[in-house]
Amino acid sequence: MGVKCLHTIILFCFTLFLGSCKEKRQKSDLEITFSQDTLHLGYTYWWDESGPFIGYCGTPHTLIAMGSIVQMDAPNDDAGPLYTSQKGSIQLEKVFLINNPKKNAYHQHGYLNTDCFYKSGLKIGDKVLVFCYEYDDELIIPGQESIIPIGDWNHPLVNSTKTFIDKDENPLKIEKDTTLWEAYGHGTSLKRIIECRETTSK
């Protein structure tokens, strides 16, 4: 075998080796080219709970993303006696999950807008994780607890959220993060859906 032929074989094998070493793309590794459009999230203010883990065994998400708050209006009475409305906008940095309902779907929107910010304690410039659900075939947010402040894009909650998505929203896969979520007020709800999953999987 000639030296040139041997060199070609070695180069080919090395290329295959590098390809096999590349990290496999996960479900949460979505690549989105954001537009300048804004998606308004309906606010199901009458739901009993909001947050990243709702429902006895966990309600599936329609959209999970992170971004920065870029607008925060003053509270108002636009919703009448139903609730105090306070509108705000979030510029998206990354989208981790899209499971669109039939209406009010997400399509590369660069901004999310909702009026559930009253008494959230959030302000312009805050980085947040956003957890959305489905109601009546529309993409909605059930309340301010579904908008969680994070210090930076590499916050531990981001990694836990990505693992949760990559493992098909199986809470057992992030059980070790219960204390972390508890620090942000969501430990009890995570424990509840973990216990439910453990019971139903027996």
0.85 surpassed by pTM: yes
What is the CATH topology of the domain spanning 38-153?
OB fold (Dihydrolipoamide Acetyltransferase, E2P) (2.40.50)
Query: What are the pLDDT digits (tens) for 72-122?
Result: 999 999 999 999 999 999 999 999 999 999 888 999 999 999 999 999 999
Average pLDDT value over all residues in the chain: 90
Q: What Rg, from alpha-carbon coordinates, does the chain have?
A: 21
Q: Answer yes or no: are the C-beta atoms of 92 and 109 closer than 8 Å.
A: yes
- 202 half-sphere exposure, CB direction, 13 A CA radius: 5
Confidence band of 202 (pLDDT split at 50, 70, 90): low
Please check the confidence at residue 184 and state whether its pLDDT lies above 60: yes
Res 63: pLDDT:
98
At 30, give phi and psi (nearest 5°): -85, 140
Res 18: pLDDT:
41
How much of the chain is helix, strand and coil, in % rounded to 5?
30, 25, 45
